Amino acid sequence: EYNPENISIDTFNRMLSNPQVWAGLQLIKMPIISQNWTIESDDDKDIAECIEALLKPVWHNLISSTLTAIEYGFSVHEIVYRNKPYGGSVKVFPHKFKSLYPEWINIKLDEYENFDGIIQTWEGNDIIVPKEKVFIFTNNKGSSFGNLFGTSRFYLGSRASK
């Protein structure tokens, strides 16, 4: 896989141990994490209520872990589904978005270079997670020409420290 940064996750982790870097990240993340939100629909209030019921239990953890893309360039989650009663029937809902450590992830692309899931390396084993079970967030994807590894906010700082 091509990652234009070629800076190790360990380097980013060392940068996170700096109190000023950590405080700067909090200034970026906290206004986003602390936002109140609702789902509204002019057409179907049941859909709005269903989506809100789906997201409320997982929102804080999902947003917090998604924003790790700021420091690593991308964040990856495995979507874990569960059956839950809703509106008189049982529906399949995301139960949680399991945050995956970036160093363990290889992004799979199909023959047209479209996202096709991930390969997670865990204890020497490769675990293939299909695209239907993956939520990936890329920081600055547009400015990195579609590179799903994105661009870390630390990129310039890590290069300057060399």
Chain segment 73-132, per-residue pLDDT in tens: 999 999 999 998 888 899 888 889 999 999 899 999 999 989 999 999 989 999 999 999
Q: How confident is the model at residue 63 (pLDDT cuts 50, 70, 90)?
A: very high
The long-range contacts involving 51-60, CB below 8 angstroms and separated by at least 24 positions, are 53/86, 53/93, 54/93, 54/94, 58/94, 58/95, 58/96, 58/97, 60/33
- Summarised one tens digit per residue, pLDDT across range 29-58 is 999 999 999 898 888 888 898 888 888 888
- Asked whether the predicted pLDDT for residue 67 surpasses 50, the reply is yes
pLDDT value at residue 111: 94
Report the C-alpha gap between 68 and 122 in whole angstroms: 20
- pTM for this model (two decimals): 0.82
Identify the bridge partners of residue 90 per DSSP, sorted by sequence position.
85
Question: Helix or strand or coil: residue 142?
Answer: helix
- Judge residue 143's burial from the number of C-beta atoms within 10 Å of its C-beta, 0-12 exposed, 13-18 middle, 19 or more buried: exposed
